[in-house]
Amino acid sequence: MSKAPSTLQTVSTPAVLIDLDIARRNIDRFQAYADAHGLKVRPHIKTHKLPAVAEMQLRAGAIGVTCQKVSEAEAMIAASPEIRDVLITYNILGAEKLRHLAALARKVTLSVVADNETVIDGLSDAFAAEPAPLQVLVECNTGADRCGVPTPEAAASLAQRIAKAPGLVFGGLMTYPPANDAAAVESFMNRAKAFIEAAGIKVPVITSGGTPSMMEAAKAPVTTEYRPGTYVYNDRSLVTRGACTWDDCALTVLATVVSVPAANRAIIDAGSKALTSDLLGLSGYGHVLGRSDITIDQLSEEHGRLVSEGPIDLKVGDRLRIVPNHACVVTNLVDAVNIVEQGEISALWPVVARGRIV
Amino acid sequence: MSKAPSTLQTVSTPAVLIDLDIARRNIDRFQAYADAHGLKVRPHIKTHKLPAVAEMQLRAGAIGVTCQKVSEAEAMIAASPEIRDVLITYNILGAEKLRHLAALARKVTLSVVADNETVIDGLSDAFAAEPAPLQVLVECNTGADRCGVPTPEAAASLAQRIAKAPGLVFGGLMTYPPANDAAAVESFMNRAKAFIEAAGIKVPVITSGGTPSMMEAAKAPVTTEYRPGTYVYNDRSLVTRGACTWDDCALTVLATVVSVPAANRAIIDAGSKALTSDLLGLSGYGHVLGRSDITIDQLSEEHGRLVSEGPIDLKVGDRLRIVPNHACVVTNLVDAVNIVEQGEISALWPVVARGRIV
């Protein structure tokens, strides 16, 4: 309800808090790693959807940003004059989205991906009459089994189709890698690159991503750039994987105990609308900072249920800070986040690219 | 991106569709059941968050609506002159929320619940100087083990505290019942009512809720009113429980196939941002209408992965309609929904009470 900055004691809950000091440290840490290994950084903005945080990433050394949707890219570009190089890692289809994409391409350096001919042909139709061609990278399946061509040969075939298509230029290769398998990326990309170069086409960019594997990105030296997203905030899934500690978690949800109906049970005012029901393979829906004895075992939309093995020792009105399982999806649930600096709320920032569904 | 009505073939995807003809039928069906059993209906608006659908429910015979938050009630009341009786089934705490609650109470007939003394005392402080007292019901735990006093004796004790508190009047008893256990509700409520009446206090309302058990509501005849929410849309969880059929599902997500990277795998442009990661005890993330051979086995934010046992027989660009696991949480993810009447999109309605976090 509040639109003005409040304190951690007075802000209405549930409230999403972003500790900007921690976020800065997280940004700098990966940028230093990438710089040391000659890797360019193109952070994925899906995690924060905040122009000011994208600017922090660019000022730290990122070469541009990654978005997952045309609509998210539009929102970010409109809000920040510093965002001028955007990769949209998505198969873009449909007349309306293609119109918006073409309009964006007239404003900034834009590239997209494709893993099939239908998408390439649609992009070509939309860009054939545009003043400048669109860069299209081929998305490759290096083991995550989501999108992506299945083989290096298929990647080379699509690269050639892009290179010949009116309105398009071949921009390189892109993958969302399997966790902790840089070898798979290295092998697939080297073979695809060789096939494509053998056809007389240059491969200017090979881009990989994902926070879980980011500190091993250099183990796939064929990669030229990397697209981490969650690293800026971190979350319970990353702590559980050993990628960071609780002290590295910049996004927390502040919640209030609204009921203590049993000695080992308490109810907070943060449910799936604030914490999300994303499990990411974990059990429970978040970590209560300072209370590793508590499990958040059940969420409804507006309630979170906390259970403890011993007495829960909470009273109605107590405030708790929770690290959610998955930070990115929390960002998308709220219209604004409370910025924390030096341990206190300093501002309320609108989540500019939230809720871009189409 | 589109703000104007489109057709099912042209609307940008993912798009949330609300079939208003089905919703009307669902509303009428439960109203008829309730009327036949002398039960008042107070639908929970969390499922739709749409003033026009609340008005459909009221015109069908509902006595008022249920909201889970002060902020949702504010949004609904501001948008519809027909919403004039609201029960907020939540322990409301905190100075700012109480100020908003008091302001609302001057506009409409308002009641809230409490399951502990801290909440009652806060409500009393906020309403002691108001022109009219606030009705407060005691929330009872009849087996769902979320909020609620644990025993009928405890309910009676809080009822007396409310009855004595400046600015408050005792409004009755409320529960969110365990699934398919009307007997538990009947037993708890009859005992609580007897204790309270023995203390000389009337129990004007006994309210239960929940779509899964709604067609057995009359098996707890102590209940005076019922608060179904999801029944207006239904969803995969309710079909799986046998509460309805696919033809009763008013909310669907229209998605486009963006990649068919393997013979038995396809990727759609609806991920957890459109379908939610709510499992509600199910496996998979939704039902593809007409394709019971397909499982949506994985969601990331913008991608849903479809797998089939045999060939998936889909091509890039195909459109699919999906019944999500949990309709209510989908509503909260989108700024607007596409209204479908007589099989085609007729309007785009803003989800007025979406994203009310605090």
- B244 CB burial (10 A radius; 0-12, 13-18, 19+): buried
Q: What is the pLDDT of residues B104-121, one digit of tens each?
A: 999 999 999 999 999 999
- Is B258 in contact with A358 (Cβ distance < 8 A)? no
pLDDT at A3 over 70: no
Please give, one letter per residue, the 3-state secondary structure of A101-168: HHHHHCCCEEEEEECCHHHHHHHHHHHCCCCCCEEEEEEECCCCCCCCECCHHHHHHHHHHHHHCCCE
Check residue A2 and give its pLDDT. 45
The stretch B185-213 carries a mean pLDDT of 97
What are A47-102's pLDDT values in tens digits?
999 999 999 999 999 999 999 999 999 999 999 999 999 999 999 999 999 999 99
- Contact yes or no for B328/A301 (Cβ under 8 A): yes
With beta carbons under 8 A apart, name residues in chain B contacting A150. 261-262
Whether the upstream peptide bond of residue A133 has omega within 30° of 0, thus cis, is: no
Q: Quick check: B302 and A262 CB within 8 A?
A: no
Distance, in Å, from the CA atom of B205 to the CA atom of A253, rounded to the nearest integer, reads: 35
Architecture of domain B37-232: Alpha-Beta Barrel (3.20)
Distance CA A194, CA A156 (A): 9
pLDDT higher than threshold 70 for residue B166: yes
Nearest residue on chain B to A96, alpha-carbon basis: B12
CA angle A270, A273, A278 (to 5 degrees): 100
> CA of B288, closest CA in chain A: separation in Å?
18
Whole-number average pLDDT of chain B: 96
- Band (B179; pLDDT cuts 50, 70, 90): confident
Mean pLDDT of A139-148: 96
Q: What chain A residue is nearest to B296 in terms of C-alpha separation?
A: A146
Please tell me whether residue B281 adopts helix, strand or coil conformation. coil
State the Cα–Cα distance between residues B356 and B183, nearest whole angstrom.
35
Q: Are B270 and B285 in contact (CB under 8 A)?
A: no
Determine the average pLDDT of the residues in B59-82. Answer: 98
Residue in chain A nearest B68 by alpha carbon: A302
Predicted pLDDT at B2: 45
A335·B316 Cβ contact <8 A: no
**Nearest C-alpha of chain A: how many angstroms from B36?**
31
Query: Among all residues of chain B, which has the CA nearest to that of A114?
Result: B259
CA separation for the pair B310, B187 (Å, rounded): 51
Q: What is the mean pLDDT of residues B138-154?
A: 97
Percent of chain A with pLDDT over 70: 99
> Token match 């000659």: residue?
A38
- Say whether pLDDT at B250 is over 50: yes
Domain spans, chain B: 37-232, 237-350
3-state secondary structure of B96: helix
A97 interaction partners in chain B (CB closer than 8 Å): 1, 12
Query: Chain A: residue nearest B332 by CA?
Result: A273
Residue in this structure with the two tokens 């929970």, named with its chain if needed: B44
- The reported pLDDT for the residue numbered A209 is 96
Q: Do the beta carbons of residue B354 and residue B277 sit within 8 Å?
A: no
At A195-235, the pLDDT tens digits run 999 999 999 999 999 999 999 999 999 999 999 999 999 99
pLDDT score of B1 more than 50: no
A354/B11 Cα distance (integer angstroms) = 20
CA distance B226 to B214: 8
What's the Rg (C-alpha) of chain A?
22
B267 contacts in chain A (CB < 8 Å): 91, 146-147
Fill in the DSSP letter of residue A283.
S
pLDDT reported for residue B92:
98
Task: State residue A280's pLDDT score.
Answer: 92
How many CB pairs lie under 8 A apart between chains A and B?
A: 187
pLDDT band at A180 (very low <50, low <70, confident <90, very high): confident
User: What is the fold of A237-350?
Assistant: Lyase, Ornithine Decarboxylase; Chain A, domain 1 (2.40.37)
- Rounded-to-integer distance, Cα A101 and Cα A265, Å: 50
- Look up residue B228 and give its amino acid: P
pLDDT in tens, B273-290: 999 999 999 999 999 999
Quote the percentage of chain A above a pLDDT of 90: 97
Residues of chain B with Cβ-Cβ distance to A272 below 8 Å are 276, 278, 329
pLDDT in tens, A113-135: 999 999 999 999 999 999 999 99
pLDDT of B77 over the 90 cut: yes
**What local confidence, expressed as pLDDT, does residue A4 receive?**
54
pLDDT at residue A1 tops 50: no
Q: Does domain A37-233 have CATH number 3.30.230.10?
A: no
Give contacts of A147 with chain B, Cβ < 8 Å: 258-259, 261, 267, 303
Find the DSSP H helices in chain B: 20-36, 51-60, 70-79, 95-105, 117-127, 152-164, 182-198, 236-240, 272-275, 327-331
The pLDDT value recorded for residue A5 is 60
Count other Cβ atoms within 10 Å, centred on residue A290. 10
Which residue in B231, B216, B217, B225 sits closest to B41, CA to CA?
B225
Decide if pLDDT at B88 tops 80.
Answer: yes
State residue A26's pLDDT score: 98
Residue B276: Cβ-neighbour burial (10 angstroms; 0-12, 13-18, 19+): buried
Rounded to whole angstroms, the Cα distance separating A6 from B265 reads 48
If you average pLDDT over residues B208-214, what whole number do you get? 95
Question: How many CB atoms are located within 10 Å of the residue A15 CB?
Answer: 26
Report the residue from B69, B118, B267 with minimal CB separation from A146: B267
